[in-house]
Structure 1
Amino acid sequence: AIATVGRQIVDGQSQEFSDFQITQPLSVQQGDGFVAAFPASETRFTYGIDFSVPAIGNQWYSYTANPEIFAKEIAPARTFTLKEQVEQLRQAGLIKGGSLDNAIVCDNHQWLNPPLRYANEPVRHKILDLVGDLSLLGFIPQAHYLAYKAGHHLHVQLVQEISK
């Protein structure tokens, strides 16, 4: 589905919806987390996470938008959580479709369902989340997206800023 964002079918042909580019820096912040979009000559995502849990730790990943690389390097990255949060999430009805096949779970020191698909799978999944949230626009504006310690809430705030 993400591969078709920003496209429409006209007379049986897929066409670009928009060539929208970010022309001035935009950012949203909460605590020490932020998401920003900067004017750029290509669409790029740079993301950082920092967890006190040693199994996750501090990770950074940068990716220049490309459908083939997205399919191989970003889309397969599974969501992740801490073992201590699983029951709380389940009680809140937030992980009804979650399983050890589509999510990775760690305790303080190790992954409980290895192997990881990538050594930095958690931060790659955060890029996947950001791409998905930007897709709410119906297209992904050309920009360099930079995020640190962010999540869906900040991603959606950036989407709202872009749509103004």
Structure 2
Amino acid sequence: MRLSAAINSFKSSNLISWKTTGKLQQTLAGCIELSGKTLHSGKVSKVKIWPGFAGEGRYFEFHSNLIPASIDFVRESLLCTTLCKDGYKIRTVEHLLSALEAKGIDNCRIQIQSLDSEDTEVEVPFFDGSANAWVEAIEQVGRKEALDRCGNNVEKLAPHLSEPFYVSRNDSFMAAFPASKVHISCGIDFPKVPAIGCQWFSSAALDDSYEKHIACSRTFCIYEEVEHMCSMGLIKGGSLDNAIVCSATKGWLNPPLRFPDEPCRHKVLDLIGDLSLFARSGSQGFPMARVISFKVSALSLSLGVSVRLNRVKLNKKILVN
């Protein structure tokens, strides 16, 4: 079973129920416009984010094609999360979606374009490798109550777990436990890269701590893996300005780090962006749960693992570092 089918089965199963948050759906109070170089293609792309109608959620517009920011449209890709519909692809969406989810922008239209009008594939600008640029832009324009096309406000829902959920492969795992609030704990382990080693970070991921402690954490990579990634046609736009790079023998090549555990915090940033894809009709995507992950990366990366949800065996895909 493909990743999207497995996650959709999880989303629609008895494991999840949708309950009110006691809040109304929100959108941007103005338009955001940013452009910049992308990570993998190295091209420049431009993004305009417009206020959206309540109940319509977050969605991309590319060459007049609308692609919802939903797990239904996730496709497998290397080193980023990719949405695809009708042959059009939006890559590296996780940082932007992480910021929108954490800052409570439930509904918006994300218009994106490449400088090459013939492209059927486009990436979200990468900036410094964190979500800082998006958070700052959201803060600048502010947010407001979203109204539907009839002028009515809409209640905001959130997914709640009815029982614990667990998926694993070897020493990599993700677990989620029912809770009244969002809480996330993330661990990584790079035993062959001593400067990173084993790290853990915990946070109430959707409160004010996101902006202070998560959004500014940058993408990281291992120096000894760079040549291999380049040979695969990836990270053409990568540089010491948009990622922190660590060598197994020499340590960090472009210090200082913003936090001692910045790599682990960035994994939390990515995870929030990926789990935001559970959102539907302007609801919250990240489940009201205590989520614990260890050595797990983006949902769009693939290694098959078997899980049992409500006595149904499904295939879910994760990347083991």
TM-score, normalization by structure 1: 0.85
1:10 is paired with a residue of what secondary structure? coil
| 1:39-58 alignment runs, 5 A limit | 39-52=178-191, 53-58=193-198
Aligned to 2:24: none
| 1:1-164 alignment runs, 5 A limit | 1=96, 2-5=98-101, 7-8=106-107, 9-11=146-148, 17-52=156-191, 53-109=193-249, 110-138=251-279, 139-153=285-299
Aligned to 2:137: none
Higher relative contact order (CA 8 A, sep 6+): 1
Contact 2:224–2:248 (CA<8 Å) still a contact in 1?
A: no
Gaps of 5+ in 2: 1-95, 108-145, 280-284, 315-321
CA–CA separation in structure 1 for the residues paired with 2:289 and 2:157:
13
Deviation at 1:15, TM superposition (A): 5.1
1:86-106 Cα deviation digits (max 9, x unpaired) = 111122233233221221111
Report which stretch shifted further, 27-36 or 15-24. Answer: 15-24
Greater Rg over alpha carbons, structure: 2
Letter in 2 for 1:10: L
Report which stretch shifted further, 3-12 or 26-35. Answer: 3-12
Aligned residues: 161
CA–CA separation in structure 2 for the residues paired with 1:72 and 1:120:
14
Deviation at 1:151, TM superposition (A): 1.3
Letter in 1 for 2:252: W
TM-score, normalization by structure 2: 0.45
CA–CA separation in structure 1 for the residues paired with 2:153 and 2:207:
15
Q: Between Structure 1 and Structure 2, which shows a larger proportion of strand residues?
A: 2
Contact 2:99–2:273 (CA<8 Å) still a contact in 1?
A: no
1:31-74 Cα deviation digits (max 9, x unpaired) = 11011111012100101111111010111110012342111211
Contact 1:3–1:67 (CA<8 Å) still a contact in 2?
A: no
Gaps of 5+ in 1: none
CA–CA separation in structure 2 for the residues paired with 1:36 and 1:106:
29
Letter in 1 for 2:179: A
CA–CA separation in structure 2 for the residues paired with 1:57 and 1:13:
51
Structural RMSD (CA) = 2.8
Contact 1:50–1:57 (CA<8 Å) still a contact in 2?
A: yes
- Aligned structure 1 segments of 4 or more residues deviating by more than 4 angstroms: 12-17, 153-158
Report which stretch shifted further, 125-134 or 63-72. Answer: 63-72
CA–CA separation in structure 2 for the residues paired with 1:29 and 1:115:
34
Deviation at 1:16, TM superposition (A): 5.3
